[in-house]
Amino acid sequence: MTQTLASGPEEQHALSAPFEIGKRELTYSQLVICAALIGVFGGLVATAYYFVLETLMHGVWHTVPDRVVPYFPSWLPQQHYVWIASTIGGFCVGLVLFFMGLPGEMAQVVDKIHSPGKIDIRKTPAMIIASLVAITSGGSAGPEAPLVQVNGSFGSWLGEKLQLTTTSVRVLTFCGMSAALGAFFGAPIGAALFALEIPHRKGLEYYEAIAPAVVSAIFSFAVFRINTGMTIGGFYHFETVPPLTPTNLLEGLVLGGIGAGVAVMFIGVFRLVGHLLAPLEHHRILLATLGGLTIGLIALAFPQTLFFSEEQIHTVIETGATLGITFLLMIAVAKMFAISVTLHSGFLGGFIFPLFFIGANVGLAISLMVPQVHPTLGMVCLMAAVNVAVTKTPVSTSIILSVLSGMAMLPVIVISSFVSFLLTSQIAMIKTQRSRELEGFPTSAPQTSEASPRLVSSPASLAIE
């Protein structure tokens, strides 16, 4: 595919030009400046979102319990605060969705990226409020999805204000998405590639957006880290892996296959929960309240499943081995149900770190079963394989996990990622992922098959039936 940004405006998008009279192209320098501007904006948005979320989380899960729990009646154990808080939170999520409408999730973002090439900024307020309430309530979904939609819609808005062509607006939308993920993941290149990979099922196709997307991710990453004071480097502190050998490459291959199987199991659980909750689809308040209650009850039995698991992965690394093989696997299955209930009940958020969490638990369990597999290798390879099977992002996931783990295991991670990617190529969780369309031609409907479950419109935009 020809890279278009380096050519002159007269040569660019010849197919789409007749359909976009009055639209203009940016020079490469102007495009880079816009990408940097979007990156700075994205970093500031991520910073504000981070501090608001931290304040809400501390209030709901520390300040309020300290003041309320001591007054619980003797017949109500203090640990029951968990399901009470998550249920109240679910009710609040339902109210937000009822009065502000469904702002959409990652599947809708992917669809809009393809056509019309932009994200509607009018849905931003609903997404911000609903996601903050949902995440604070303990749902198994993270802030990456709302940040992607908020910052991506800013890129779309900027492109429209500048009266750019559809292709150029799409590039700026990608810049916004990359800025969001650059701040969230702390891996600018991996974050930019993730934003560009996720619209497709078989690999990155919008090549012309790579450079500006990386620029946005870098600026957002820098602004976010400066404002929050977070360090740069590996986020998780895994046990050091001995020098890699050819045997480790074979282990990566096997672990990738196991991770693909775990991901298929998760998709099955997701489909099952979707069918069970389908009758309540149009009763948003009731559905979200029931979802909050279920999330809380699961957390009563498995406290590790609460929240979107960024911090909980630390616990798996540090103390997971003391839980034993059976309990680690039970936690992974419980998390599958927690994620499924979260998304199907209308809680807004992303599922990347929750998938990492499932992989970490299963990977550690495998290393306990087979001592020859190093715990770090088992966890990181399963984290990659499970996420890739669902998101279809083998390149970016490998880079992101290599950065987050602070380990020189990239070759093994890549093998696990691509084995999982290839084994699950006919199983699509996000229906709107599809091949790039030529500008100037109608967008065809994405192809589905019996092996690719059909996405339905529901409070969980990733729901499968």
SS (HEC) of 137-154:
CCCCCECHHHHHHHHHHH
Q: CATH 1.10.3080.10 in the chain, residues? A: 17-228, 246-423
78-103 confidence digits (pLDDT tens): 889 999 999 999 999 999 999 887 77
Q: Which two tokens stand for residue 400?
A: 């992101």
Residue environment code for 280-291, b if the CB has 16+ CB neighbours within 10 A, otherwise e: bbeebbebbbbb
Burial 102-118 (b: 16+ CB within 10 A, else e): bbbbbbbbbbbbbeebb
- Sign of the Cα torsion 175, 178, 179, 182 reads negative
**17-228 maps to CATH 1.10.3080.10:** yes
* Helix/strand number for the chain, H first, E second: 17, 0
Distance CA 218, CA 289 (A): 39
Residue range 151-156: average pLDDT?
94
Residue pLDDT, tens place only, 5-59: 444 444 444 334 445 666 788 899 999 999 999 999 999 999 999 999 999 999 9
**What is the C-alpha radius of gyration for the chain, rounded to an integer number of angstroms?**
22
pTM over cut 0.85: yes
Query: What pLDDT, on the 0 to 100 scale, is given for residue 20?
Result: 62
Question: What architecture is domain 246-423?
Answer: Orthogonal Bundle (1.10)
pLDDT at 438: 56
3-class SS of residue 452: strand
Higher-confidence position of 438 and 188? 188
Q: Which residue has the tokens 């609460």?
A: 306
Collapsing DSSP states into helix, strand and coil, what is residue 162?
coil
Closest alpha carbon to 403 in 259, 239, 187: 187
Main-chain phi, psi angles of 142, to 5 degrees: -105, 180
What is the CB neighbour count within 10 angstroms for residue 276?
12
Angle at 419 between CA 368 and CA 465, to 5 degrees: 95
Structure tokens at 5: 């940004």
C-alpha to C-alpha distance for 457 and 465, rounded to whole angstroms: 10
pLDDT of residue 22: 66
- Three-state SS annotation for 342-390: HHHCCCCCECHHHHHHHHHHHHHHHHHHCCCCCHHHHHHHHHHHHHHHH
DSSP letters, 225-294, are: HHHH-PPSS-SS-PPPPPPP-HHHHHHHHHHHHHHHHHHHHHHHHHHHHHHHHGGGTT-HHHHHHHHHHH
Q: Which of 209, 235, 227 is nearest to 38 (CA)?
A: 209
Q: Give dist(CA 446, CA 111) in Å, integer.
A: 9
Bigger pLDDT: 461 or 365?
365
Look over the chain and give the mean of its residue pLDDT values, rounded to a whole number: 87
Q: Angle 28-58/144-161 helices, nearest 10 degrees?
A: 140
Helices (H), 162-245: 166-185, 188-197, 210-228
pLDDT tens-digit series, residues 238-294: 988 888 899 999 999 999 999 999 999 999 999 999 999 999 989 999 999 999 999
